[in-house]
Amino acid sequence: MSWELIGGTSDCQKAFYTVINWLEHSHELKPTKIAYETKENSQLTITYNPITNHALITGHKKVHFFRGLGLLVEMQRSGITKKVEEIQFDELNFLLDASRNAVMTVDSIKQFIIILALMGYTGFYLYIEDTYEINDRPYFGYMRGRFSKKELQEIDCYALLFGIEMVPCIQTLAHLEQVLKWETMNEMKDDKNTLLVGSEATYHFILEMLESIKDSFHSEKIHIGLDEAYGVGLGQYLNTHDYTDRYTLIKAHLNKVVEMCREIEMKPLVWSDFIYHTLDKKSLSGYYPVNAEIDFYKAATMPKDITYVYWDYGEFEPTNYKQRLINHRLFADDIMFAGGIHIYGSLTPNHGKSLKTLNPALMTCKEMGVKKIMATTWGDNGQETSHWNALPIMQWYAEHTYNKFVTEEFVATRFASCVHPNLYDQMIATRYLDEVPGVELMNHYMANPSKYLLWQDPLLGLFDAHVEQYQKDRDLVAHYEKIRTSFSSSLNTSKNILHLNLLFYEYLATVLQVKSTFGIELIEAYKNNQRTKLTELAHSRLPLIIKAVEDLRDCHQTIWMTTYKPFGWEVLDNRYGGLLQRLKTTRQKIETYLSGEMNRIEELEEKRLPFLSGTTPLSIHVPDYTTIVFSGYH
Closest CA to 16 of 65, 77, 72: 65
How far is it, in rounded angstroms, from Cα 119 to Cα 419? 9
Q: Give pLDDT, residue 56.
A: 98
Which SS3 state, helix, strand or coil, does residue 303 take? coil
Query: For the chain, how many residues are written?
Result: 634
CA 121-124-125 angle, to 5 degrees, is 140
Closest CA to 380 of 442, 313, 437, 315: 313
Q: What is the pLDDT of residues 302-313, one digit of tens each?
A: 999 999 999 999
Q: Give pLDDT, residue 493.
A: 55
**335 φ, ψ (degrees, to nearest 5):** -120, 135
How far is it, in rounded angstroms, from Cα 343 to Cα 380? 9
Q: Give pLDDT, residue 491.
A: 58
Query: In terms of DSSP bridges, do strands 165-169 and 189-191 run parallel, antiparallel, or are they unpaired?
Result: unpaired
Q: What is the pLDDT of residues 467-505, one digit of tens each?
A: 999 999 999 999 999 999 998 655 555 678 999 999 999
Closest CA to 498 of 123, 22, 161, 14: 22
Element holding 349 (H helix, E strand): none
Q: What is the pLDDT of residues 567-592, one digit of tens each?
A: 999 999 999 999 999 999 999 999 99
- Which residues are CB-neighbours of 386 under 8 A, at least 6 positions away? 102, 343, 501, 504, 559, 560, 563
Residues 103/131, Cβ–Cβ less than 8 Å: yes
Structure confidence at residue 16 as a pLDDT band (50, 70, 90) = very high
Mean pLDDT of the chain: 96
How far is it, in rounded angstroms, from Cα 305 to Cα 513? 55
Average pLDDT over residues 406-433: 96
Q: What is the pLDDT of residues 395-414, one digit of tens each?
A: 999 999 999 999 999 999 99
pLDDT at 512 over 60: yes
Q: What is the pLDDT of residues 340-376, one digit of tens each?
A: 999 999 999 999 999 999 999 999 999 999 999 999 9
Q: Give pLDDT, residue 487.
A: 84
Residues 213/129, Cβ–Cβ less than 8 Å: no
CA 475-593-606 angle, to 5 degrees, is 55
Q: Give pLDDT, residue 15.
A: 98
Q: Give pLDDT, residue 494.
A: 60
Structure confidence at residue 1 as a pLDDT band (50, 70, 90) = low
Q: Following CA atoms 547, 583, 560, 225 in sequence, which dihedral angle do they give, to the nearest 10 degrees?
A: 160
pLDDT at 26 over 60: yes
Residues 481/513, Cβ–Cβ less than 8 Å: yes
Average pLDDT over residues 69-89: 97
Q: Give pLDDT, residue 36.
A: 96
Q: Give pLDDT, residue 489.
A: 55
pLDDT at 423 over 90: yes
Structure confidence at residue 161 as a pLDDT band (50, 70, 90) = very high
End-to-end CA distance of the chain: 60
pLDDT at 601 over 90: yes
> Quick count: other Cβ atoms within 10 Å of Cβ 110?
16
Looking at the DSSP bridge assignments, the partners of residue 294 are 280
Average pLDDT over residues 214-230: 97
Q: What is the DSSP string of 479-495?
A: HHHHHHHHS-GGGGG--
**76 φ, ψ (degrees, to nearest 5):** -65, -35
